[in-house]
Amino acid sequence: MSDEVVITCALTGVLTNPQQHPVPVTPEEMANSAREAFDAGASVMHVHFRVQEPGKGHLPSWDPQVALEIADAIRDKCPGVLLNFSTGTIGRDQRGPLECLRAGKPEIAACNAGSLNYLKARSNGSWAWPPMVFDNPVDKVEELLEVCRETGTRPEFECFDVGIVRSVGMYADVGMVDKPNYNLVMGVASGMPADPELLALLPKYMHADSLWQSTVIGREEIWPVHRKTAELGGHLRTGVEDTFYLPGGERASGNGQLIEALAVVAEECGRKVVSPERAREIFC
């Protein structure tokens, strides 16, 4: 196990309302929040794009000009930073994300590696939202990988359950990708729970010597999973896309505080948080 660790900051997410939560939206806000995370130890910024018109900042955007403006603003504010673009769409049409990749040419792109029934139940026995399928068939994955090759972008395979983890191995077996980079997404209600005991089992289902990290969604219960990730040799990610809560249960003011807390976890586990230059060597 390497003692080096790359930290990713998930800057904003897809739908969280900026009028209610500390999520950046505009290029300036995104760059300033990224700088706070950068100064705290994050070398990679995972970026979602939002509609820029006033009052619509809670809505996603696939406008490539918006993507480019945000990418440029973050790169200007954080020299040497690596960008990781979100690409997830409901349905087969992913032309918007593909055009954003072509415009911004990020170092990394999230590649949702399999389909999931995306569900959440309320305590009163009702659905939190109408049941839906987050559909990512193999031909959709292949299309995204083709554009990643075109833009020089490394795919990061988002794995919401154990079957998707195993599918990524098969993508490598059939030649779709070389040396897969896994992102174990834990805490989605209908996916893998945020459970350190489950996390400990997952590395044996990944290709040997692959890159991997965990994305852990929830409140203070996520922090033992971050610690287990660090102990097992995985890379680390947090940010206001994934949580608003610090290890003690306090509400974070933004991305800087979350990355500071994650860097402490890494160091307590004997891991060295690397520079952007070293992160580029590891991830690219």
Q: What is the DSSP string of 139-158?
A: HHHHHHHHHHHHHT-EEEEE
Q: What is the pLDDT of residues 185-208, one digit of tens each?
A: 999 999 999 999 999 999 999 998
State the pairing for strand pair 132-134/116-118.
Answer: antiparallel
What domains, with CATH codes, occur in the chain? Answer: 4-283 (3.20.20.70)
Q: What is the pLDDT of residues 120-159, one digit of tens each?
A: 999 999 999 999 999 999 999 999 999 999 999 999 999 9
Distance in angstroms (rounded) separating the CA atoms of residues 245 and 248: 8
Q: Is the confidence at residue 213, as pLDDT, over 80? A: yes
Give the chain's mean pLDDT.
97
Distance in angstroms (rounded) separating the CA atoms of residues 243 and 149: 32
Distance in angstroms (rounded) separating the CA atoms of residues 199 and 222: 12
Q: 0.75 exceeded by the pTM?
A: yes
Q: Is the confidence at residue 279, as pLDDT, over 80? A: yes
Q: In this structure, what token pair is assigned to residue 45?
A: 């910024």
Q: What is the pLDDT of residues 12-66, one digit of tens each?
A: 998 888 988 999 999 999 999 999 999 999 999 999 999 999 999 999 999 999 9
Q: What is the DSSP string of 114-137?
A: S-EEE--B-TTSSBSS--EEE---
Amino acid 209: pLDDT = 85
Q: In this structure, what token pair is assigned to residue 257?
A: 């505080």
